[in-house]
Amino acid sequence: MATQFHAISGLPRSGSTLLSALLRQNPRFSAAMTSPVAALLGAVQGKMCGGEFGTLFDDHKRAGILRAVVEAYHAEKIATLPDNAVVFDTNRTWTGRAALWGAMYPHSRIICCVRDVGWVIDSVERMLAKNPLQLSRVFNFKPGASVYARAEILMNSDTGLVGLPWANLREAWFGPHAERLIVVPYDHLVKEPQRTLARLYEALGEPLFEHDLQHVVYDAPDYDAHLGMPGLHTVRPTVEFQARQLCIPPDIYARYSTSSFWANTELNTRGVTIL
């Protein structure tokens, strides 16, 4: 049986690494933190759609080559999985490439991890506070900016760590491929993990697997050190909700209080699946 591919996308600091750590407990599943596959596809697609060789490609050939890139990247892991394997590729830009992903894998879904935007910004600030001797690639390794300036950088819709995936998610939510989305709110995942995972398996059409919520393992120290944010992808071993106080000024939080469009049922005009 051919390998099934799905994408994990959505907002940063919203549970995608935790979800991947849980999914990879299933011996049929492969999941991990952000991969370079989406960027590779963008580079390859650009070569096939312009320049002196553009006329040598039709859509059928483009789709086959792009699938080959995805499958070659994951081939080493696929080789260790059973025949009915399921591979989840994680990237914040998949929601902005929903049509492309659907053309490549018509039966695939895009799992979108989401969280109140104010808490996402707060989570980034908390990571910076934990690493005061580091400078982050997220802010181009520049020191001295205020929390207000950093929030503006994060929320830039073209380049921001939060703003770009938020804009991509909004595009997919209101677009013609919205039926492909499965939205996983962070609070649901950490407060009701069993129920949320059961609903995810149902939405994916997969048999339920009993996950161990007390011994979750995931870490990427080299990647996090490269970003200048050690611990960014470290997952706590127990899935649980931990209440905490905001570390960002309340006016920054309030500024983005209406950004959680997925929580407004009136805006779910295309019937997106929300777990």
Number of Cβ within a 10 Å radius of residue 52: 6
Give pLDDT tens digits for 34-54: 999 999 999 999 889 877 888
Q: Which domains does the chain have, with CATH numbers?
A: 4-274 (3.40.50.300)
Q: What are the structure tokens assigned to 223, written together?
A: 């990647």
Q: How far is the C-alpha of 158 from the C-alpha of 155, rounded, in Å?
A: 9
Contact 87, 74 (CB under 8 A): yes
Say what the pTM is: 0.94
Parallel/antiparallel/unpaired status of strands 273-274 and 181-185: parallel
Give pLDDT tens digits for 187-208: 999 999 999 999 999 999 999 9
Contact 275, 199 (CB under 8 A): yes
Q: How far is the C-alpha of 91 from the C-alpha of 20, rounded, in Å?
A: 12
Q: Is the pLDDT of residue 178 over 90?
A: yes
